[in-house]
Amino acid sequence: MVLNQKETTVAYRCPECGASVMSMVGIFTLTADMIRLKCPCGQSELEIVYTRDKKVRLTVPCFLCPTPHSYLISSQMFFDRELFALPCGYSGLDICFVGQKDKVQEAMKAAEEELLELLGDTSFEQLSSQRHSGGGQELTDPQVFDIVMYVIRDLADEGKILCSCPDGGDYEAEILDDCIHVRCKQCGDSLDIPAGSLTAANDFLGCEELDLRPKD
């Protein structure tokens, strides 16, 4: 019997030369070892690791920031979605796309057009130079709350948000000035998640469980 291998397409833009890097990733290959998607220029690579708890960790080069961004997502999201994008927290621009090949290609093209419009007269080489000199650190961070909310939705879908309800709760999230207040509408258990900075949001990307229950 031949098993149908789950496959998905992963793509990112090289922060050094600006080229699109795209590859098909299969679950059998992914479970064997770390996968590195390298740009032909040899100056960047995207790392994909299948964790012991069957999640997928992606380390994605960013064309605006001096260091890569790390994302932890469920294997179901990685292989079963038609398309989803991972954003740079500083700019809000999508830097990685995962999903069906045609959908990923369309998204990459749209992202390229958006980037060219934002760059204006600035060349990609100048952007790369600014990134290496630390200029990317000066960007504002309009997407911090979106990053945190992305993780919360993923945890809720996987049943990884815990409260005092015996059969799971009904969760809502409220955006406050410097945090996101997550609350179960049934039992009232709640937790404030810091979201006032990119550092706090990026730290939260590695969260594997959210416990709303009162601490003794």
Strand partners, 3: none
Q: Does residue 1 belong to any structural domain of this protein?
A: no
Residues found in the chain = 216
The per-residue DSSP string of 37-80 comes to EE-TTSS-EEEEEE-TTSEEEEEE--SSSSS-EEEEEEHHHHHH
Do 112 and 175 fall within a single domain?
no
3-state helix, strand, coil in the chain (%, to 5): 30, 30, 40
Q: Does residue 216 belong to any structural domain of this protein?
A: no
What are the pLDDT digits (tens) for 120-152?
666 656 555 655 554 433 333 445 666 677 777
Do 161 and 131 fall within a single domain?
no
Residue 66 has pLDDT above 60, yes or no: yes
Do 115 and 201 fall within a single domain?
no
The per-residue DSSP string of 100-162 comes to -HHHHHHHHHHHHHHHHHHHTT--HHHHHHHHHTTGGGGS--TTHHHHHHHHHHHHHHTT-EE
Q: Does residue 2 belong to any structural domain of this protein?
A: no
Do 133 and 176 fall within a single domain?
no
Do 159 and 195 fall within a single domain?
yes
Do 15 and 32 fall within a single domain?
yes
Distances in whole angstroms, Cα of residue 68 to Cα of each of 78, 94, 131, 183: 19, 13, 11, 32
Do 121 and 156 fall within a single domain?
no
Do 182 and 111 fall within a single domain?
no
Do 29 and 58 fall within a single domain?
yes
Do 104 and 194 fall within a single domain?
no
The bridge status of strand 45-50 relative to strand 55-60 is antiparallel
pLDDT (0 to 100) of residue 209: 84
Residue 62 has pLDDT above 60, yes or no: yes
What are the pLDDT digits (tens) for 71-106?
888 888 888 889 989 988 667 788 999 999 999 999
Q: Does residue 97 belong to any structural domain of this protein?
A: yes
Q: Does residue 67 belong to any structural domain of this protein?
A: yes
Count how many domains the chain has: 2
Task: Single out the residue in 116, 138, 160 at which a domain terminates.
Answer: 138
Return the SS3 of 67: coil
Q: Residue 132 and residue 135: Cα distance in Å, rounded?
A: 7
Do 41 and 68 fall within a single domain?
yes
Task: Single out the residue in 121, 138, 155 at which a domain terminates.
Answer: 138
Tokens of 199: 């550092």
Kind and range of the H or E element at 76? helix 75-80
Q: Residue 35 and residue 47: Cα distance in Å, rounded?
A: 6
**What is the domain range of residue 174?**
144-211
Residue 2 CB partners (closer than 8 Å, separation 6+): none
What are the pLDDT digits (tens) for 18-54?
889 999 988 766 665 688 999 999 989 999 988 887 7
* CA 177, 179, 182, 187 torsion-angle sign: negative
Do 108 and 151 fall within a single domain?
no
Task: Single out the residue in 104, 138, 172 at which a domain terminates.
Answer: 138
DSSP structural state of residue 16 = T
